[in-house]
Structure 1
């Protein structure tokens, strides 16, 4: 399974860059990244700004977390490929946000405890929540930085950790709390026997050689010694750097809370997938200062990771610096499920296949956690009433609406004596044929394309009646001509389509802007506004739209710039006396 993390620095901007601007779709992006599970950070969206193309990417289900404190800030989204079942999904790291599964407004932790007391286990909450002040825990999850998904064989954390760039005691305390709670929850899950994948923009340069700026500053101050170019070419850069600067490397790891937490988790509990696969690669950066144009020279830092617990085998991992779109690059890791989980899933899949035919792996899962529906319910079914009417098959020509049956012709209960009378075989066959046509579901053999009109149906049944008279099967039939069902299905559709078109026409007339009146020249008038102070100030009126007026000079009219002068209606270049209030 391929896990991908990508800080896109604004979901509305990333598709404007190469190579994503070739098709401008997330479907194309995910296909290029070959992602099974992808975590996007810094979506910078609010729930009301979420669009259909963001939420419903073909072939993927999406889960979202939004910032409740600032607009256009932070935000995390995790997309899971169809065919990968998400058992549970939670927003936040601490379990203190309200669960969409709770009708009483309970948090994930409260709902988890209640379900455990009642059923012995929780069907909607992951569990292993950290302890602490509920108010402070809620504040940690209020910035839309965390999503936690249970995929069965592992628990996936999609994270956008707070940055060290923002200084201040309050932000320092928030950042320390965030990393401390992350460490606690990962430890609790591992202790409970769960496998864990932590991926995202962690905003932590694990080692000193993972930060070009840090190495440059210490090298200028002559506190560190850099390996030679030959060491770098021979693939021994990291090994030589740590031998030359052991004290500075240790000081770097202990300088920040985030780094201390990182080194308590890695390598004891989690694997650093990219560094484990490329242990001596220098300059393996994932983030650059694009304002200073540092990316072309590869002067950056490694702060994006895919970390996997020891029970998961990482088969491949790398960074993708050639794919642009933001100041970060994508990072991926291909993780194989544990053998025990894989065998269990195979047995479950085989058993389900024996009972019923399963949908293809590209089909969406029938079960989705409530977190999916809470965010995407507005996009799942968006068919309008008008489109439903227009999508129906048009009615067949030649069918007329039958008259309503009168009381005298309505079907009545047959008398007992009729059971002993031999019915007309022709009528019986006609009844049987037409009944077969109209009792099947709409859209099958009774569609207008197959039965062009009722008369052809009678003709086909007449032929069948003739064949029956010549055949050997002459068993009596109970039906009579009065049993013919009325062909109202097509007529109902025709009436609905006609009514919908009438409503659409009426609305278009109401919403259409009225045309401007015509002046004495039979030309469209122009709209003016009264500016003179008085009772009519601000009112709109229509006047002739000609640019100049004619004024009587001697025995003839001449052009005048005076806007109050009135011209002749016969002269098309002069403004006439037309006036009309709007």
Structure 2
């Protein structure tokens, strides 16, 4: 039997199409798959992310609404059918999540049992114990020959004493549950992200932390090992006692995977007696398993880290020149597996009712008013989007009469004047000459050219349209007359006009167009039905030249801004490369201050290619 533990750092993120839940589980090639940090609430569980053919699944989701604890933790256990289906299952390790109104634990044979040790703890009320299970950090499954704990240990931020005490209470209560099972002759395997690095060899930060061995959490874990009189064996260190660099977690913010600068947080520990019997050489009698035989040594064939699931590969882009590493696919943890020897077969039994396929959310029934309203709001949004897609597009009307400055169009043009035209125009001083005319022309041009749609609304020869440009002394831009429905369509459905129908730029823009003769303009006004196709090539050339000049000017201006910004970023002393800028988030007098440090990935100080020790505050004051 093969068991794997994997902190997935959001289960939904690991199931990006075309990858499905079944294909993801099959890639781990295990009989029992324990996942941590699923980041799912119970209302978010669907068949696509909770149920897979060939597996029975069990979930524990967070129930607390305290700050930072929603969609944060969560564990899930997937058991291959029919060989690894448990006979009983518990959500949480105290059993209090399965109590009825009278305070009794329901479920009978479907529960693992042995709760007395944890429920009778001193200085811990039932409410205190219940809070330990509210964050969805534990699943317990009974597989006959052993009881499996799928754990996600609490993490503690710097100087967070309250959270540190919660972590101590969590593990001390968990220890009592283990002791209750071991007293009843059960064998225990605990896997998961413990958020504990047991020994200095398991952490790259141990050399720089003089209080590494003084941590209360670390001392508690060591007290549970056989070397210190405890019942458990650290299975990985039992097989690989001196392997260095055997890390399972890397800080994604510092890019430390590049230099394998991490920590071993994902652990597998086992306790209990082994199954085989030993024949005494002296008396030729059969003896039961003694202290020299242990479940974590005799029944384990192999245990190792699956580094092929590591995000950083040899072809990944390293951090150089102040640029961050490209976004890597996968979790910031890697899986760890243990291979057990063949276990005694189980008799035929029912699937525990805690299985995900029995949940009302998976079976399609509503659970609460909140979920009902949430689904209803989503359906309403989908209906609105569908109506938008089916709404017919309106084309430009045929120009049969030219009217100067229609009121609706003028209002539309004025609403566009406040928009930023381009990066170049943003840095230019405003001009007053011909301001009204240029703003109207630019706004009309901008309204039709800023759309992202690929559909070009282009009048045909049978449905052509005449545009008239007045001289600077006239009232501005002459446009065809629109009805109110067309005006509304122009603001929401109009894509950009084809270059064959584009307007020439006004005199305030940098173009090569010559001023329009007023006599020619007046003659055009008299003949409303004259076709404008004869003047299209000149207009196209003028507009293309203007746009080319604008893009070139904007590019030069943007390069100047980038150069100015780069000059303000200091160079690191170790590599003479632009630094990366960060913001201090730690509470204290420097909270919110920006600082600069080396942009390379974090690694050992002995490696010259890793991050150097350069540090500088951006400003003297906050």
Question: Into which bin does the TM-score normalised by the smaller protein fall?
Answer: 0.5 to 0.7
Question: Normalised by the size of structure 2, how large is the TM-score?
Answer: 0.50
Q: CA deviation at 1:550?
A: 7.2
Q: Distance in 2 between matches of 1:165 and 1:520?
A: 64
Q: 1:96 and 2:92 equivalent?
A: no
- Equivalent in the alignment of 1:318: 304
Q: 1:207 and 2:199 equivalent?
A: yes
Aligned counterpart for 1:191 among listed residues 183, 186, 194: 183
Q: Which runs of structure 2 are paired with 1:83-232 in the superposition (5 Å)?
A: 83=82, 84-97=84-97, 99=98, 105-106=100-101, 110-112=104-106, 122-129=108-115, 130-131=118-119, 132-218=124-210
Q: Distance in 2 between matches of 1:565 and 1:522?
A: 7
Q: 1:52 and 2:47 equivalent?
A: yes
The answer to whether the 8 Å contact 1:549/1:560 transfers is no
Aligned counterpart for 1:288 among listed residues 246, 250, 263: 250
The answer to whether the 8 Å contact 1:548/1:561 transfers is no
Deviations 1:213-255 (A, max 9, x none): 113445xxxxxxxxxxxxxxxxxxxxxxxxxxxxxxxx85553
Q: Which runs of structure 2 are paired with 1:68-83 in the superposition (5 Å)?
A: 68-69=64-65, 70-83=69-82
Q: Distance in 2 between matches of 1:569 and 1:48?
A: 64
Q: CA deviation at 1:274?
A: 0.8
Q: Distance in 2 between matches of 1:573 and 1:91?
A: 76
Provide closer, same or farther for how the CA distance between residues 262 and 572 of structure 1 changes in structure 2, counting only shifts above 3 A: farther
Q: CA deviation at 1:333?
A: 0.5
Q: Distance in 1 between matches of 2:178 and 2:132?
A: 16
Q: Distance in 2 between matches of 1:366 and 1:142?
A: 27
Q: Distance in 1 between matches of 2:467 and 2:205?
A: 78
Structure 1: segments with no counterpart, 5+ residues:
116-121, 219-250, 350-364, 383-508, 533-543, 575-582
The answer to whether the 8 Å contact 1:269/1:309 transfers is yes
Aligned counterpart for 1:331 among listed residues 330, 336, 342: 336
Q: 1:32 and 2:27 equivalent?
A: yes
The answer to whether the 8 Å contact 2:43/2:361 transfers is no
Q: Distance in 1 between matches of 2:250 and 2:387?
A: 55
Q: 1:9 and 2:12 equivalent?
A: no
For 1:135, what is the secondary structure of its paired residue?
helix
Q: CA deviation at 1:47?
A: 2.5
Q: CA deviation at 1:559?
A: 13
Deviations 1:324-381 (A, max 9, x none): 222211101112366xxx16x3xx46xxxxxxxxxxxxxxx96342342454752589
For 2:128, what is the secondary structure of its paired residue?
helix
Deviations 1:265-304 (A, max 9, x none): 5553222111111122222221122322222322222111
Aligned residues: 359
- Equivalent in the alignment of 2:262: 300
Considering only CA atoms, is the larger Rg found in Structure 1 or Structure 2? 1
Q: Distance in 2 between matches of 1:189 and 1:306?
A: 17
Q: CA deviation at 1:314?
A: 1.2
The answer to whether the 8 Å contact 1:288/1:295 transfers is yes
Q: CA deviation at 1:563?
A: 4.8
- Equivalent in the alignment of 1:62: 57
For 1:315, what is the secondary structure of its paired residue?
strand
Q: Which runs of structure 2 are paired with 1:421-460 in the superposition (5 Å)?
A: none
Task: Supply the RMSD in Å over aligned alpha carbons.
Answer: 4.2
Q: Which runs of structure 2 are paired with 1:401-550 in the superposition (5 Å)?
A: 513-515=390-392, 521=398
The answer to whether the 8 Å contact 1:75/1:143 transfers is yes
- Equivalent in the alignment of 1:223: none
Deviations 1:433-478 (A, max 9, x none): xxxxxxxxxxxxxxxxxxxxxxxxxxxxxxxxxxxxxxxxxxxxxx
Q: Distance in 1 between matches of 2:112 and 2:528?
A: 83
Q: CA deviation at 1:56?
A: 1.7
The answer to whether the 8 Å contact 1:92/1:145 transfers is yes
Provide closer, same or farther for how the CA distance between residues 196 and 48 of structure 1 changes in structure 2, counting only shifts above 3 A: same
For 1:257, what is the secondary structure of its paired residue?
helix
- Equivalent in the alignment of 2:351: 367
Deviations 1:113-153 (A, max 9, x none): xx7xxxxxx22322222123111112111211111112222
For 1:12, what is the secondary structure of its paired residue?
helix
For 2:205, what is the secondary structure of its paired residue?
helix
Q: 1:270 and 2:232 equivalent?
A: yes
The answer to whether the 8 Å contact 1:90/1:371 transfers is no
For 1:140, what is the secondary structure of its paired residue?
helix
Q: Distance in 1 between matches of 2:392 and 2:399?
A: 13
For 2:207, what is the secondary structure of its paired residue?
helix
The answer to whether the 8 Å contact 1:548/1:560 transfers is no
Q: CA deviation at 1:57?
A: 2.5
The answer to whether the 8 Å contact 1:548/1:563 transfers is no
Q: Distance in 2 between matches of 1:258 and 1:277?
A: 21
Q: Distance in 2 between matches of 1:128 and 1:373?
A: 26
Q: Distance in 1 between matches of 2:53 and 2:477?
A: 64
For 2:334, what is the secondary structure of its paired residue?
coil
Question: Normalised by the size of structure 1, how large is the TM-score?
Answer: 0.53
Q: CA deviation at 1:323?
A: 1.6
Q: Distance in 1 between matches of 2:529 and 2:350?
A: 75
Q: Distance in 1 between matches of 2:352 and 2:532?
A: 71
For 1:296, what is the secondary structure of its paired residue?
helix
Provide closer, same or farther for how the CA distance between residues 316 and 516 of structure 1 changes in structure 2, counting only shifts above 3 A: closer
Q: Distance in 2 between matches of 1:266 and 1:317?
A: 18
Provide closer, same or farther for how the CA distance between residues 529 and 85 of structure 1 changes in structure 2, counting only shifts above 3 A: farther
